[in-house]
Structure 1
Amino acid sequence: MRKQVLFGAALLALGTAVVSSCSKDEVVIDNTPGVETPVEDGVQELILNMNSAGDGLTTRGGRPLYSSEAAQEIDKVVIKIIDRSGSGETNDKVVRSITINNWQEVSKQYTVGGHGRMYTFKLSKDQKVPKGTYEIYAIGYTSTDSSYDFGAYEILDDTNPFSYQTQTLISTTDPEAEEVFAGSIYRITVDADGNFALTDNPENNVLTLHRQVAGVIGYYSNIPTLQAGAPINDYVSAEYNYDEYVEGLKLRLVSSNASNKIVFAGFNSKFTETGEDYMYVVNGSNTNALTTNSIEFADGTEAYSFYEIELAKWFITGDVNHDGLLDVNDNRDKEGNRLDNWISPYSSIENLEFEEGSVFAGKFVIPFQKVKNSPKTLELQLVAENALRHNGGSEVYAAGSIIRSWTINLSSTDPQVKGPDGAGVHARTVSETTGELAVMNPDLEELANSYSIVRNHLYTVGTKGTNDYNPDTDEPQDLSKGQELILKVNDNWELIHKMEVE
């Protein structure tokens, strides 16, 4: 019986807030020192496990972000074995490249947790790597209609030195991120007999792929149509084109910064259970190709748009009861019968449902640093595409006006804001050249109102644990109240922040 190392690549997936332990959703093959597994003579056997612990109208290849439910739909994994022996012709070059195509088809379900997938592949006698020290590096992604182009990574071999990979979004006019996973075993050795040498540190024996992007979810109800304190009766009289104005309203989430480039390095391999060993890593940057397209915060400072929710796509005939709110009462008559005035634009997608009278948006986002001295990172806006006019022609709200806005804060007790010992928290950045982590500018302490968006964390306003509707767990954020909107960070991501609306 020959000792070997099993490379388990666990794709850390979306999970619900009720999941308390995620070890089975992450590191799925534990290579405890001393474990022996049969292997055919003359081969090096590797086992790769993927675990499934935007708005759905996207046409891209990556899966949409509908909830914090466990899922993964990538179809390709490319593994590179890099010579890190320190000398020789192939030092710091790729000596073996292993590609797994059609991941969902060629892999099989494995039983732990009920939703992981596993694929076993072997390096034949002619493909085996010789005695030496190696880094095992892998990226898992969607290969068609993608926001990224991994062509250059796929063909890396011993003719070129290996460098930590980056990806810049293909489109600068529509910079839509999608889910992608990566990780590495930093150093592992092959002995004179051609066997992978097990070590005392399990981290050195398990290849863990973690999500390299962040997620942002907004789930809202009771949406006001006017500024706070505005008398609704004045706007639903015959003097105003109120109905037409409401049809043009949208919710827009804007941010103080944005990224369009990802660095696949500085992996948090220690992270194996949600709520433990999590880190705050910004592995994204802005190449200056991104523009704000004249988007602004309510105070007039420059901003980037994350998502927009056209309210007319949810409330077909608008504010039918003319009470100044878009809510469930616009879809019910006095007897409580449905009027079909509210419908989800995602209604054609199987098992995707929302609370009646709510609206939703979800996006994957490349992480970005907070902006120094910025008073806020995220702001939700109620924007009028159509002007509200007097019949005489004068404008009450001009087209493009920000009618109302809410600051999106982290909770003051969120771990990203305050460490367990009360100390301040600073995010880390990733070096593209060395792959190492470095503390961000010491002036940029993470604050409740001004914070970074970090890798493998999910930021939610409102709660939606699964794609289907569950009245016990679905909790859209009520926008009619003056409370803060809270961001939460949740299971199966390193952290899910439920955020506050102010």
Structure 2
Amino acid sequence: MKKNYLLGMALMASLSFYSCDKEVVYVQDGNGVESVTDGAQIITLQVENGGDGLATRAGRPLYSAEAKQTIENVKLWICDNTGKVVYVKEISDWNTDGSTVYTTGGHGRQTTIELKDADKLAAGTYKIYAVGYSSNSDYTLDAVTSVAKEGTFKENMVLPIKDGAANKIGEEIFAGQIMELTVTEGKGFKEPIVLNRQVAGAFAYVKDIPYMEGAKYLKLVASAQNESLVLGHFNSFDLTGNGSGNDVNVKYVVNGTNGKSGSETYEISSIDLTQWFTNIADNDGDNLIDAGDNWKNPYSSEGHPTFQKGSAFGGEFVIPFAHVDGKQTLTLQLTNEGGTVLRSWKVNLGSADEQLKQTITCWNSESTDWSTSLSGESSNTYSLVRNHLYGIGTRMNDEVDPEQPGVDPDPDPEDPDDKPESLNNKQELVLKVNDNWEVIHGMELD
């Protein structure tokens, strides 16, 4: 039998930065090719739950490293050894009637497809591809939606952000492939195709915010920004442990292109402090913005998510980008309404972070292949890589206390799974990457 699993990623490879819970797509019902006595060909698509921005837009927002998914569509192609598409399957209601919950070997949603009659594959060698995406996407999805049966499948699809889209940073999307499936006459098979999250994630979860006259925003800014996502060089493995980084199949890939870098910085997320605090004031004279009764959850009317009282949060999915030599990759800025920086913190990877030991695989836009290998990652200058979550502070769930949904808790006692970073007297931020996200990176403030 042939079963294909679509698994959704997660927060996150994270950011406190952690490798987040991955949202992955699988096509499989086990490991490896298996002969089936009745010759049936069955594909089970699984999307594992994965990570999430606070902004309302296409795709789900990122609130934490929690594993979840909201994609509506999954599209699967089977191609012969010439690249010709011999089978196409589209599922347009994936997260509702198009799939069911599964908990074996992971957690997410799945559905089973059996190839019958004229759809059955003849003996030969095939490649299988699958993509999971949002209906009202901010990506230009022509490269995905236009590929039909009898057409030619093009590997390494480039998905630009749409002209006029409010979101220029990134949106969660899943993809994966099987590079070679051999079908033998009279035998069935089952083979996994795992769809992992194709973007990175970044968030700032902070408390004890310094009071400065005119302060209005906390902005997480970056040294570079890519405006197109490349679907290719997939990590088609069922990663275990949300953001643990211990899986031998963890990869470090920058799959963004059409980038910008230079003297300016590029905003990833912006926290409007007036949405979190009734007044930007320091009436008790401790040089911090008053919390206590002055604090409010701007999302409480939605019933979720919850946050530790006195904190503030901002996060987004990000199209991965390579580090810029000599430039601080991420910086947290406290600004006034006009954008003047009142105070800033460098956001660094911890000195022992595994990413600092890696050579990063990058898309080469000139040769249109994966020929660029990037070394020289450092605590200050590091890349944001696919399916890794980079976070300031620790936030593993959308609900601070999943057992008390809708309740914003007091800061004590301290919860190791929900711990906003204090900005009081800090000069360095530490990022962590989190999902089943592949890795969760803990970030430091400088």
TM-score of the two chains, using structure 2 as the length reference: 0.85
Please say if residues 102 and 108 of structure 2, whose CA atoms lie closer than 8 Å, have aligned partners that are also in contact.
yes
- Residues 424-460 of structure 1 show CA distances to partners (whole Å, capped at 9, x for unaligned) of x32111367998643424xx41111001110000000
CA positional deviation for 1:350: 2.1
CA positional deviation for 1:24: 12
**Which of these residues, 480, 496, 499, is aligned with residue 424 of structure 2?**
480
Structure 1 gaps of 5+ residues are 85-90, 199-204, 227-241, 333-338, 386-398, 419-424
**Which of these residues, 354, 370, 394, is aligned with residue 415 of structure 1?**
354
Question: Quick check: 1:304 aligned with 2:266?
Answer: yes
* TM-align CA RMSD: 3.0
CA positional deviation for 1:283: 0.3
Aligned to 2:443: 499
Which amino acid is the alignment partner of residue 113 of structure 2? Answer: F
Question: Quick check: 1:67 aligned with 2:64?
Answer: yes
Change (3 A) 1:432 1:209: farther
CA positional deviation for 1:45: 2.1
Larger relative contact order (C-alpha < 8 A, sep ≥ 6)? Answer: 2
CA positional deviation for 1:38: 7.4
Please say if residues 148 and 168 of structure 1, whose CA atoms lie closer than 8 Å, have aligned partners that are also in contact.
yes
CA distance in 2, matches of 1:269, 1:417: 23
CA positional deviation for 1:48: 1.1
Please say if residues 219 and 463 of structure 1, whose CA atoms lie closer than 8 Å, have aligned partners that are also in contact.
yes
Which amino acid is the alignment partner of residue 304 of structure 1? Answer: Y
CA positional deviation for 1:264: 0.7
Change (3 A) 1:402 1:412: same
**Which of these residues, 439, 452, 467, is aligned with residue 398 of structure 2?**
467
**Which of these residues, 7, 31, 37, is aligned with residue 4 of structure 2?**
7
Aligned to 2:408: none
CA distance in 2, matches of 1:10, 1:498: 25
Aligned to 1:236: none
**Which of these residues, 271, 276, 281, is aligned with residue 253 of structure 2?**
281
Which amino acid is the alignment partner of residue 167 of structure 1? Answer: L
- Residues 295-323 of structure 1 show CA distances to partners (whole Å, capped at 9, x for unaligned) of x9xxxx31111111111111112215153
Aligned to 2:99: 107
CA distance in 1, matches of 2:24, 2:320: 22
CA distance in 1, matches of 2:365, 2:188: 31
Question: Quick check: 1:80 aligned with 2:19?
Answer: no
Aligned to 1:31: 30
Question: Quick check: 1:382 aligned with 2:349?
Answer: no
Please say if residues 220 and 270 of structure 2, whose CA atoms lie closer than 8 Å, have aligned partners that are also in contact.
yes
CA distance in 1, matches of 2:300, 2:382: 35
Question: Quick check: 1:55 aligned with 2:53?
Answer: yes
Change (3 A) 1:351 1:51: same
Q: Which is worse superposed, 487-496 or 254-263?
A: 487-496
**Which of these residues, 102, 118, 122, is aligned with residue 110 of structure 2?**
118
**Which of these residues, 186, 190, 195, is aligned with residue 183 of structure 2?**
190
Report the count of equivalent residues: 421
Please say if residues 22 and 272 of structure 1, whose CA atoms lie closer than 8 Å, have aligned partners that are also in contact.
no
- More strand by percentage: 2
Larger radius of gyration: 1
CA distance in 1, matches of 2:270, 2:19: 32
Aligned to 2:204: 218
**Which of these residues, 284, 307, 319, is aligned with residue 366 of structure 1?**
319
Which amino acid is the alignment partner of residue 5 of structure 1? Answer: K
CA positional deviation for 1:372: 2.3
Change (3 A) 1:21 1:360: closer
Aligned to 1:440: 373
CA distance in 2, matches of 1:410, 1:331: 29
CA distance in 1, matches of 2:316, 2:20: 25
Change (3 A) 1:493 1:32: closer
- Residues 456-477 of structure 1 show CA distances to partners (whole Å, capped at 9, x for unaligned) of 0000001111111244121111
Structure 2 gaps of 5+ residues are 402-413
Q: Percent identity?
A: 37
Please say if residues 77 and 85 of structure 2, whose CA atoms lie closer than 8 Å, have aligned partners that are also in contact.
yes
Which amino acid is the alignment partner of residue 346 of structure 1? Answer: Y
CA distance in 1, matches of 2:346, 2:124: 54
SS of residue matched to 2:312: strand
CA distance in 1, matches of 2:437, 2:120: 35
TM-score of the two chains, using structure 1 as the length reference: 0.76
Aligned to 1:230: none
SS of residue matched to 2:205: strand
CA distance in 2, matches of 1:497, 1:190: 41
